[in-house]
Structures are given as structure tokens and as C-alpha cells.
A and B are shown apart, each in its own frame.
Chain A
């Protein structure tokens, strides 16, 4: 464990911390442009966070101590996960052996679990609805996520994301095997689900069918800023797993030099912009569904994960 690797690991966390609002801004800007709007510019999330950090905190009278915990825990969780996954380098850095893919998923879920508790804590109607909807969706999303992880494990014979990355870079047959393509498709649907872009969501965020916004409606000021930042970071982490582990495993720093790391960060922006384009396209092209058809995309994802596992059994 030398200094440069430690610096790189810190760099990975900082990349996620600092670039996450940019990704959010790019996606929002694309969305607005696709809908023929002007868009607020790609740096709007930074301005939002700055504004929220300078506001005062208003706490509901019904809130208990639990109200204060989730923003901090969610933010910390999102700072922990980048240590485990390849963000800038394609080789494991110090402490990245703390957990495998499943461990990363566990930490991500811990963050959302506490936000669900926060939604219930203030006993406001919207928080309760938001939390119950979030649980309803995640009950179906979690088994599929685990199946995708099982598929990845069977494909690469390992649960370490770095191994999967190396396998896909090294062999084209593995990249184009049906198992891998199905995993990509299944994970793409999960990506849409986890970043609140299912076809049951509308493009405005605060409305009757809100899920994510409903849970954090009672928060204000810096606490809200932390939650928003954490959700942007969660999106960034999921994009990083999707790109660097599954779809575009190239353009990572191989040796860990400063130039390489900077190049990898620039590559990340390009890759995420591409994926963001696809996400915005799918979200715009897909007609909005009735709320109670939320299980259909998840069933499709489940099916694709099963087919991927079967693909790994056959090849």
C-alpha cells in the first residue's frame, strides 16, 4: 500500500463526490432539450446545493432523533461505495477488498432504507405514501438485483467488480455472449428503477405519484442538500457500475498515473453522457404507464436476469 494508491483511492471518492451533481445536471439539461425547453444549464445542481447549504433547518414538531440520522448515513454510505468499485482505475486500490459487489449493493440499500424510515418518522401523509411506494418497488427490484449479481458471478466466476472488468476487456466472445448482453439489459432496467426513471414517473418531480420526493418532503436546508447530494451520488455510482463493470469497461487508468486518472475522469464524463442520452431517450420514448403497472418493467428485468443465468450455464 503506497501513497500513490491511497491518493488514487481518495481521488475516486472525490470524483464521485464532485462530479455527481454534474451528471445530474447533464441529464436534466438533456431532458429539457428533448422536450424543447431551454434547460437550466448543466451546473444547476451545484447552484441548488449551494443555495440549500445556506438556508436554515426547519424541523417538524413530530420528528424524533431519527429525522437527523438518515441524511448523514445516506451521505456516508455513498462515500463508502466508490472505494469498492472501479471508478478511475481498473485495479483494486487500498481497502477495496472490504466488500464485493453484494457488499456494495448492501451499503447502497442501507442508505435508501434509512431514508424510508425518515419518511415514516415525521408521520406526514406524503412521507408515508412515499416510503410505502419505495418499499413496494424495492421488494421487486432487490431480488432482480441479486439475480443480476448472481449472473455476473457465474459469468466471471468471481464477485469482485475488477475481475468482471478484466474479463470483458480481455475477451470479445465474453463481451458478446448472450449472458453478458442479457445482464446489461437487466441492469439497465434496474438503473432506471433505482434512479427514479421508471415509466410510472412523470417528468415533474413533486406530484401525486412521487416516490423519491415524497420521502424527503419534510427536509429543508443543509439536511435536504445532503439528501439530494446523496441521491445524485447514488446515481453516479450506479452509472459507474453500469459503465465500468458491464457496458464500457475501457478507458480506465491502467497504471494509476496522475494523467491516467485525469483521463479516466474525462472518459467517465463521456461515457456517462452517452448512457445519460440513452436513458433520456428511453424515458421520453416510453409512454407513461398507469401507476399500478409498476411491476411490468421489473418483471422484464427479472426475466432477462434469468435468461442471463441460463446463458452462463450453457456457455
Chain B
């Protein structure tokens, strides 16, 4: 495994990038404006692309450079642009009916990070890789997944839903980049195109909601329409 023989410099670079990603997902959790979510998501994707490139450089996996470029292009530019077009067309700037206020959700997110750390210690112990960087990668992966679920459950705007899904997926991506950087290229490609499909579906869903329910809040989907 790559992570078992990393130089201190590479190790600190990995941890810096992983923690920056985690911090950006907290920015998404704490902001009210949909545009800020989007900027944070784009920045997060760029950092993940940098992380892939770092893994490629230090681990000697040339195909990871390709993944870094794809990640940068699709997650960092194409997806945010598509979402930005949807947001611009919608005239919905911000989350109005949040279940949990941003400050409370940040605190809940912090508790999730603590929980993720506890789980990561157990997992690393069981796998017999108790390196700091492994624990960190597992913590970031688990806590970003949990934060993604949190965004999915406390935000009602359709845009927030799709961004929550994307954060969740970013978390898994960053975990795989650090833990198993040699993951086959084909899988990565499949995941990237899956994401495109997800965003396209949500675009259609949002249009549908807007036309038939007059709102973009997914709460409108609770009602049965014959």
C-alpha cells in the first residue's frame, strides 16, 4: 500500500489537503446561500484533484494524473457550471425552510467528526494499519459521508439535495484516493459519469417541481397527486 511508505512531506501534504476538504464541506454545511454551496463544492473538487495528482506523484501511478485531470474537469468545472445554470434559472437564492439552523448544523457536524474519528481508530486497529495518515483519511472519508447525509436530511431545497449527494460522493472519493490509490481507472470513469447522470436527473426533477408544484422545495413531493 502506498500509505505505508510515505515520506513525511507527502504525508503532511496529504493531511493538509484532506483537512482542507473537510473544512470546505463545513463551509457548505454552514452557508445559507446556494451560490456559496456551489463555490465551496467547486473548491473542494479542485483540492481532490490536487490530492489525486499528489498521490500520482508520490506513489508513481501515472494513470492517477488522468484521474486528477478528469476530476478537475468534471467535478470542478462541468458539474458546478451545470448546477450554476440551474440555480440562475430558478430565482431561488437561499435555503428558506431549514430544519436546523446553519450554526446548529455545524455543531452537529463537529460531533459527527468526533464519531468518525472514534470509528476510524477502530477500523485502523482492525486492519493493522495504525498510521496517522490512515486514521486521518478514514476520519475525513466517514465524516464527509456523514456531513453529506446531514445536508440531505436538514436541507429542503432541491439544489441542496444534489449538493449533499455530491459531498457524500466526494468524501468516498477522497478516502479511496488516499487508501487505495491504485483503484482501476475504469471504476473512476464510471463514477464520474454516474455523477453527471445524477446532476442531469436532478435538473429534470427541479424543472418538474417548478412546473407542477410551483416550488423547488422537496417538501412538495410529500403530497400525493393523482
Contacts and interface: CB of A to CB of B under 8 A. Distances in A.
A314 interface: yes
12 contacts: A173-B8, A293-B103, A296-B103, A299-B102, A300-B106, A303-B109, A306-B113, A310-B139, A314-B15, A314-B135, A314-B136, A315-B15
Interface string B10-21: 001001100100
A173 B113 CA distance: 24
Contacts of A306: 110, 113-114
A299 B106 contact: yes
Interface in A230-255: none
A140 B32 CA distance: 21
A105 B108 CA distance: 27
Interface string A274-299: 00000000000000000001011011
Given A299-B102, A300-B103, 4 more contacts: A178-B19, A310-B117, A311-B19, A314-B135
Given A314-B136, A315-B132, A307 B106 contact: no
Question: SS class of chain A's interface: helix, strand, loop or mixed?
Answer: helix
Contact of A296 (B15, B23, B102, B109): B102
A21 B27 CA distance: 37
Contact of A299 (B30, B114, B136): B30
Interface string A170-188: 0001001010000000000
Contacts of A295: 103
Interface of A: 173, 176, 178, 293, 295-296, 298-300, 302-303, 306-307, 310-311, 313-315
Contact of A302 (B19, B110, B135): B110
Contacts of A307: 19, 22-23, 110, 113
Nearest to A299: B103
A299 B132 contact: no
B107 interface: yes
Given A295-B103, A299-B106, A306-B114, A178 B30 contact: no
A308 B15 CA distance: 13
